[in-house]
């Protein structure tokens, strides 16, 4: 593992994410935005999630991270159903086991890079003030091809590429079992996208990774593709979400 695991207790699970019979709509009784009979992602697997605008990608990510609750069905992470956890337990579980890199990175602008990373540790209930922790943060920063000097820079003084890497560092600092990365490469040129992906795939190699993008160029990095479609009621009772298991190297 790239950094020492901190508070891990769920080491024996095989299925990182399981979605069963999940339906969700924003309006009670409205057309579901999400309707998925079954989908799962195993430990360490990486999936490319795509679909047209409005097809429900962000909604799906919010369901996976437990910030939205399905109208029906169940979502389990590390073989633990969200419904078995209280709100407080779910928040702690999310902080410890799920890392999220948001489209806009969501760094706290007036804090330094180090403080941004420490905040993620704090919310997961992990100790932050120790030499060991400092060493771990430096190691992660170096793995992301950044100089440790960047740790003392305020987040709002970073370039877009730096913000992106810091957002990844923050998402990875608690050694998450599940990493969700939402549209991270839209601001980058092709060369920068390649170098970003090489780094991401390497640092996230032990996590289940859900990578959301509109960019077909990024598909080549994934052998597993989940494609969301717009819901078309009323006759199509079949799943509107199609999981395409692509052959390794076949893209
Ligand atoms: N808070 C909300 N309240 C009501 N409807 C919403 C809300 N958020 C999203 N929607 C609707 O749900 C559908 C799916 O939206 P979602 O943002 O999940 O799609 P998306 O695939 O992520 O789109 P994009 O690629 O444009 O970001 C859309 O029709 C959207 O208008």
User: Could you tell me the distance, in angstroms and rounded to a whole number, from the CA of residue 33 to the centre of ligand 1?
Assistant: 8
43-96 pLDDT tens trace: 999 999 998 888 899 899 999 988 899 999 999 999 989 888 888 888 888 888
Q: Is 53 in the pocket of ligand 1 (CB under 6 A)?
A: yes
Residue 81 lies in a domain: yes
**For residue 32, what is the DSSP state?**
P
- Cα–Cα separations (whole angstroms), residue 37 to 31, 96, 231, 242: 16, 27, 14, 10
Residue 28 lies in a domain: yes
User: Could you tell me the distance, in angstroms and rounded to a whole number, from the CA of residue 49 to the centre of ligand 1?
Assistant: 15
Domains of the chain: total? 1
Atom of ligand 1 at shortest distance to CA of 55? 21
Mutate to test the pocket of ligand 1, among 23, 24, 26, 68 (most ligand atoms within 8 A of CB): 26
The pTM for the full model equals 0.81
Residue 229 lies in a domain: yes
**CATH number of the domain that residue 138 is part of:** 3.40.50.300
Q: Which of 175, 149, 173 is nearest to 162 (CA)?
A: 149
156-183 pLDDT tens trace: 999 888 898 899 899 888 888 999 998 7
Highest mean pLDDT: which range of 104-118, 179-193, 200-214: 104-118
Residue 30 lies in a domain: yes
Q: Which of 16, 47, 55 is nearest to 245 (CA)?
A: 47
Residue 121 lies in a domain: yes
Residue 9 lies in a domain: no
Protein residue with least CA distance to atom 18, ligand 1: 56
Residue 168 lies in a domain: yes
Q: Is 73 in the pocket of ligand 1 (CB under 6 A)?
A: no
Q: What percent of the chain has pLDDT over 90?
A: 35
Protein residue with least CA distance to atom 17, ligand 1: 58
Does the CA dihedral 157-195-203-64 come out positive or negative? positive
Q: Is 191 helix (H, G, I), strand (E, B) or coil?
A: helix
End-to-end CA distance of the chain, in Å? 28
Q: Which of 34, 30, 81 is nearest to 55 (CA)?
A: 34
Q: Which domain holds residue 43?
A: 15-241
ipTM of the complex: 0.98
User: Could you tell me the distance, in angstroms and rounded to a whole number, from the CA of residue 38 to the centre of ligand 1?
Assistant: 21
Q: Is 42 helix (H, G, I), strand (E, B) or coil?
A: strand
Residue 64 lies in a domain: yes
User: Could you tell me the distance, in angstroms and rounded to a whole number, from the CA of residue 26 to the centre of ligand 1?
Assistant: 9
Residues in the chain: 251
């Amino acid at each position: 593992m790239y950094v020492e695991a901190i508070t891990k207790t769920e080491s024996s699970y095989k299925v990182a994410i399981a979605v069963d019979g999940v339906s969700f709509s924003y309006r009670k009784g409205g057309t579901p935005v999400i309707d998925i009979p079954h989908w799962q992602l195993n430990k360490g697997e990486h999936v490319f999630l795509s679909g047209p605008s409005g097809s429900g990608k962000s909604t799906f990510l919010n369901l996976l991270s437990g910030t939205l609750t399905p109208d029906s069905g169940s979502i389990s992470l590390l073989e633990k159903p969200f419904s078995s956890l209280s709100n407080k337990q779910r928040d702690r579980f999310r902080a410890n086991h799920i890392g999220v890199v948001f489209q806009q990175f969501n760094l706290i602008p007036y804090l330094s890079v180090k403080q941004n990373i420490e905040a993620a540790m704090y919310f997961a209930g992990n100790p932050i003030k120790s030499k060991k922790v400092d060493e771990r943060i430096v190691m992660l920063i170096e793995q992301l091809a950044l100089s440790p000097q960047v740790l003392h820079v305020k987040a709002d003084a970073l370039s877009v590429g730096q913000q992106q890497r810091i957002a990844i560092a923050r998402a990875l600092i608690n050694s998450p079992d599940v990493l969700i990365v939402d549209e991270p490469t839209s601001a980058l040129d092709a060369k920068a996208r390649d170098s970003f992906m090489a780094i991401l795939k390497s640092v996230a190699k032990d996590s289940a990774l859900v990578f959301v993008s509109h960019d077909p160029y990024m598909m080549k990095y994934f052998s597993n593709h989940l494609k969301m479609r717009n819901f078309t009621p009323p006759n199509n009772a079949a799943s509107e979400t199609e999981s395409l298991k692509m052959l390794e190297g076949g893209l």
